[in-house]
Amino acid sequence: MRQQQPFVVGVIVGSSRPGRRGPAVAGWVTEVLAQHPAVRAGEVTIELIDLAEHRLPLLDEPVPARFGDYRHEHTRRWSAAMAACDAFVFVTPEYNHSIPAVLKNGIDYLDAEWRGKPAGLLSYGADGGGRAAGHLRDILTEVGARVVDDHVELGLFVDFEWPGEDLSDPTAAARIAPGEDRAAAVTALLTDLLDAARDLVAVA
């Protein structure tokens, strides 16, 4: 596995729809991670990566990613952004008991960029998005990422505030407001990622 100083952790925003909550959730994750001792010591940097900004079309590469023969500029840009990361935190909502198509598509585009790298999962949804996290774990395992055991869940009606909003309105704005225990779980996720990275180096 590529190792560099500082160690780069990419926090990936896994949704793309207008009005999505993904950037707020991932922004909160990066704020929490910024307080981690390894980040404060300059050993780790956190990169926020918004899949929506990459504007990847539905997979249009003729050669499967495992061969690394990328024909399109958008793939090479996405590849370079992921190759620059040593580990990942995937921030995914639950869509119909799974992950958003944009996230599955972004993963399918690449292979070596995920392989052998530690990955942590944070899901959110009406009841925490656990089914999406389960699917994501399987998908990332297939592309060779080392998904750490624990994942973090945020519930839409527990970890968000709905100031004066009508909850029956599906576009209602919510403010992310997770409790201290959720922040501690995100901090622990980064510790797990760093431990996994050390273990991988030790066996290499």
Ligand X SMILES: Cc1cc2nc3c(=O)[nH]c(=O)nc-3n(C[C@H](O)[C@H](O)[C@H](O)COP(=O)(O)O)c2cc1C
Please give the residue ranges that form the binding site for ligand X (CB under 6 A): 15, 17, 20-22, 93-97, 125-127, 129, 156
Task: Kindly tell me which of 80 and 172 has the beta carbon lying closer to ligand X.
Answer: 172
Task: Kindly tell me which of 67 and 157 has the beta carbon lying closer to ligand X.
Answer: 157
C-beta of 22: minimal distance to ligand X in Å? 3
| Contact indicator for 84, 72 with CB cutoff of 8 Å | no
C-beta of 8: minimal distance to ligand X in Å? 24
- Phi, psi dihedrals of residue 72, rounded to the nearest 5°: -110, 145
C-beta of 66: minimal distance to ligand X in Å? 29
Per-residue burial over 127-140, b if 16 or more Cβ lie within 10 Å, else e, is ebbebbbbbbbebb
Locate 115 and state its tokens. 């392989």
Task: Kindly tell me which of 17 and 40 has the beta carbon lying closer to ligand X.
Answer: 17
Task: Kindly tell me which of 136 and 196 has the beta carbon lying closer to ligand X.
Answer: 136
C-beta of 94: minimal distance to ligand X in Å? 4
Rounded to whole angstroms, the Cα distance separating 101 from 108 reads 10
Task: Kindly tell me which of 6 and 155 has the beta carbon lying closer to ligand X.
Answer: 155
C-beta of 177: minimal distance to ligand X in Å? 14
C-beta of 181: minimal distance to ligand X in Å? 20
3-class DSSP assignment, residue 194: helix
Rounded to whole angstroms, the Cα distance separating 92 from 15 reads 7
DSSP character for 112? T
Locate 91 and state its tokens. 């921030």
Burial grade of 154 (CB within 10 A; 0-12, 13-18, 19 or more): buried
3-class DSSP assignment, residue 132: helix
Task: Kindly tell me which of 70 and 162 has the beta carbon lying closer to ligand X.
Answer: 162
